[in-house]
Amino acid sequence: MDKILVHGGHPLNGTVRVSGSKNSALPILAAALLTRQPCVISNVPDLSDINYMLQILSHLGAHVERASGVVRIEAEKIKTEAPYDIVRKMRASVCVLGPLLGREREATVSLPGGCVIGDRPIDLHLKGFEALGAVSRIEHGNVKLFAKELRGATVNLRGKQGPTVLGTDNVMMAAVLAEGTTVIESAAAEPEVVDLANFLNKMGAKIEGAGTRRIVIEGVPELHGAEHEVIPDRIEAGTYLVAGAIMGGDVMLRRVDPTHLGALIDALRQSGYEIEIGKGTLRIKGHPSPTPVQLTTEPYPGFPTDMQAQMCALLSQTSGISVISETIFPQRFMHVSELKRMGADISLDGHTAIIKGVEKMSGAPVMASDLRASAALVLAGLRADGVTEVNRVYHIDRGYESIDEKLNQLGARIERMKA
């Protein structure tokens, strides 16, 4: 098991290229199961979550080839069961349910289990499948779906904390091969949902409204192969923007879609940082005396929950009192106790973090609890005195392609070692 040593105090300057979106690539790869013809997906990031998904597709019978960020999938004949041994490693593996149900009218997929950032049930996924005519049941830890036929229906996918992204993906993938018209109300509007819809449309699907709260899907008899390039990862991009802010340098991001980062850009500008927006680029310059901010995480296009931990790291070293309220995953504050080990002054009041900026934090051994928390600890360590030892970095390898190498290219001093 690897650990990362972050030597604090090294300014960041230069250019970093943003990788393809993990949260786009995972359902897009799963969607290749919907056709017997080959699909070619480019700009696929090299991440452990992607590796697990490709293992699942191979287990299901697909022929998978991968080279230099390009994945070719041919699923001429497929099985309909994904066992616990491979599914347990990644919650997003449930996104094979929709393609299997859509193509084969049945699916058996093991439930991946709990998540440290809170309860993340798939009840809305099942609600959508059942509206299309499927019967679902849970037996021995497996979700089983059966349908004699799938017919279009209207389904509302709003949950307690807002629309479900994976649920929208899953129902959309099942509905493209259903008979008639499906309407998803309260659909997730994230760019990753739009990316999946664009890929499905290239395969011959008829989807309108992706990116809004109402998606309309006209079912088609079959889909064909297609080629598609995955969009840039907006959360990776946001993480490097915050890294530039923390270290007060001059950092340029290339191959990024600035329209996907509006809420974060607004928050950083509100704090005083200068951000230049170009065609496919973002540039952030440090500020000698940034000001505190108040943030509330919300479904897209609001402030993303996946950037909450990174902003906690930044605001912990921003003079004044900042407040972050977490409305998507109220338990998503596991990083707070680790930041406090480094000297942060953060108190929790329910689902709200009250952050009193300190002049300096100090390096310490810390434990990553989830993907974004691990990124936050690395960011905090960039500016902290001494060395920050981040353990359990397998979390960060799930969603950041070569984060240590990219930060080192900007001037950081980070070592990866065997724990």
CB of 3 within 8 A of CB of 221? no
The CATH number covering residue 267 comes to 3.65.10.10
Ramachandran quadrant class, 346 (left: phi over 0; alpha: psi -120 to 50; beta: rest):
beta
pLDDT, mean of each 10-residue run, the chain (419 residues): 93 98 98 98 96 95 97 97 82 91 96 50 92 94 94 94 93 98 98 98 98 98 98 98 94 98 98 97 95 97 97 98 94 94 97 97 94 96 98 92 97 92
Residue 274 and residue 195 share a domain: no
Pair (110, 207) in one structural domain = yes
Other Cβ atoms closer than 10 A to 208: 12
Residue where a domain stops, chosen among 196, 229, 262 = 229
Same domain, 237 and 223: no
Residues 256 and 396 in one domain: yes
* Domain tally, the chain: 2
Whose CA is closest to 81, among 123, 109, 56?
A: 109
- Give catalytic residues, as residue numbers: 115
104, 234, 325, 328, 416 from 124: Cα distances, Å: 21, 25, 24, 15, 40
Same domain flag for 90 and 62:
yes
Cβ–Cβ under 8 Å, residues 393 and 4:
yes
Please name the residue that has the structure tokens 């230049």: 276
> Where among 229, 261, 283 does a domain terminate?
229
| Same domain? 168 vs 313 | no
Give me the domain span that covers residue 389: 2-19+232-418
As a dihedral over the C-alpha atoms of residue 239, residue 166, residue 302, residue 293, rounded to 10 degrees, the angle is -40
Q: Is the same domain home to 299 and 315?
A: yes
- In terms of domains, do 75 and 205 share one? yes
Residues 146 and 274 in one domain: no
CB atoms within 10 A of CB 360: 11
Quick one: 290 and 376 in the same domain?
yes
Distance CA 386, CA 403 (A): 20
Say yes or no: 172 and 251 in one domain.
no
Joined together, the tokens standing for residue 287 give 């500020």
Which of 229, 262, 286 is at the close of a domain?
229
